[in-house]
Amino acid sequence: MPAWSPVHLAADVPPPKGPYSPAVRAGDFVYVSGQVPRDPITGELAGDDVATQTRQTLSNLQRVLEQAGARLADVVSVTVYLARADDWDAMNGAYVKMFHQPYPSRTTVGAELRGILVEINAVAFVPGRS
């Protein structure tokens, strides 16, 4: 039995299509798998611009965190994957509307993403809520 436990999504959200957990809790930490800009219920892609896709992706991230008993304010580290590095300003504009000071650490990298413009994963610290 592992020393961590998977986080399950709400009953109205289909499970991941791949062999992974949406998030796992390990002690006081929650590790959220990469979230993408698809509506979690319908599977529809949100918009065709990076700002819209970033908002949906962060909303999905927030939903997973809530299932784990965490909040965006608990996030200590974020990795953002962008299909186009030139979209950084637009992504950042949407990002700062969801995250507030003190900001978590963040790395943003260019990546080959399949049909989407942004993917985001995160680590949250939630002491005493495990």
pTM score of the predicted model? 0.94
What letter would DSSP give residue 72?
G
Q: How confident is the model at residue 129 (pLDDT cuts 50, 70, 90)?
A: low
H-only helix segments in the chain: 50-67, 88-95
Mean pLDDT of 52-66: 97
* pLDDT digit string, tens, across residues 78-103: 999 999 999 999 999 999 999 999 99
94: left (phi over 0), alpha (psi -120 to 50) or beta: alpha
| 130 pLDDT higher than 80 | no
Domain 5-125 has CATH 3.40.50.720: no
β-pairing, 105-110 vs 75-82, is: parallel
